[in-house]
Structure formats: C-alpha cells, structure tokens
Structure 1
Amino acid sequence: MMEEVRDGGGQRWRRSLMEEVRDGGGQRWRRSEMEEVTDGGGQRWRRSEMEEVTDGGGQRWRRSEMEEVRDGGGQRWRRSVMEEEVSDGGGQRWRRSVMEEVTDGGGQRWRRSEMEEVSDGGGQRWRRSEMMEEVRDGGGQ
C-alpha cells in the first residue's frame, strides 16, 4: 500500500506499507513501513521500519529502524537501530546495534555506533562496544 499527498508548492508526504507471509518449508513473515516528508526547499524527513520473523529450523526475529533528516544546504542527521534474536538448537543469541551520524555540507562528519550482544551456547557471553568518530575534511583530506 502506498499513499502520497502533494501540494502545489513542492511539499510532499509519502507513506508505504508492505506485509509479506511466505511458507516454502521455511516460514517467513515480514513487515516494512516507510514515511517521508519533503518540502520544496530541499528539506526532507524520512523514517523506515522493518520487522521480520523467519523459521527454517532455527528461529530468527529481526527489527530495524532508520530515521533521517536533511536540509537543502547539505546537512544530514541519520540514526539507525537494528535488533536481532536468533535461537537454534544449539543456543540463543540477542544482538542490538545503534548508529548515529551527523554530516554538514562542508565535509565535517560525526558518527557514533553502539553494539550489544548476549549469547548462550552453553557458555553465556555478554558483549558491548561503543565507538565515536569525528572526521573533518575541508576538501584536502
């Protein structure tokens, strides 16, 4: 399903929704949604979300989400989140990662990523890592 609304001044709102069920021995259910707003001046806001469940012997659940804001001058903010749970006959695993990024039109970028993981294949493990990065490029780097 896709919906769209426009006015004469260049503004637009758009939304799409998709749902899928499949069974060819390995079962799958998936749902994705996207929403976007743009104005005539180059500004844009976008959000997308996806959720998936599969069972082909080992079960998996996954969810991801992304949000983005842009202006006409080259600035952008983006955030994405992914969450996953996998359970097979040998053990369970849960994982989550987050990424955030800011860029400006002049070549500067700031990025942060975070990852967390829990697994149990008999011996339990928990892991978390965080990374922050700043890149400056005024054209010559």
Structure 2
Amino acid sequence: MSFFTSQMRSAFSTSSCLLHIQTCTRLRVVDNSKIGKEAMQAGKPPKVIHVYNKKRKADLGDRVLMAIRGEKKKGVVVGAKHKVQEVLRPRFDSNNVVLIDDSGNPLGNRIYVPLPMSLRAKKDQYNKLISIATRFV
C-alpha cells in the first residue's frame, strides 16, 4: 500500500492559486468596443502578454498589454478575482479589463460593470474612464 501511495504522490503536481493577474491570464472585456465584443462573442478572450509595472503582477488600475484577435491592445484592469478578500477592496467574480488606445482614451463609450472607487484616486490618469462609467463600488 505504501508503494501505491508513493507512486500516486509523484504522479500529481499541485501549485498554489495565483492571487494576481500575470502573463497568460485571460481577461473579460467589459466595455462596448468593437474588437472586445467580437472577441468575447467568439469565445476567445484576450490574453495578457505584458504587465506595465515592476512587479509583473497586475492589480486594480494597472495597465496591461494584451493579445486580442491577433492584435496587440492596451487595457486597464478594472476588476480582479482574488482568492483572499483584502480589506476595503471590492471583490469581483472575474478578471475585467477596459480597452484603451496608446494615449489612454477608452476604445468603447460605455462600461458595463461597476468600477472600483480606488480608480477615482487616480483621476488624472483615468479621467475619461471615470466619466463613461455609470456605477462605482
């Protein structure tokens, strides 16, 4: 019996759950941009290929570079699914992103999910994103 259990232990590999958005993470587009709607309807959500910060792990309000429908697009993370509930941070069911262009303007003109209040603290960076949002948490 001990031989069987030792063989089973070596056959399975476990790793801890990821707590941040990193490279190769799939995201859900939550604005009404044309390329975002097409990707989500086709069942091929964008994949993160680069995170624009020093930690290489994205959180709420961080910019990411994504591969979406064969193109490179930038986005802002507006919702992150965390395993551990952090204090004074809203909890989301999925990893959400809003697509932006190179100058920081959103590609869509409506956001379908509530944005976290922490983005309002960075009002100089995300002024146009905040103006098209209708709800905040």
TM range (shorter): under 0.3
Q: Which of the pair has the greater relative contact order for Cα pairs under 8 Å at 6+ separation?
A: 2
How does the TM-score come out when normalised to structure 2? 0.25
- Structure with the bigger percentage of helix: 2
Higher strand share: 1
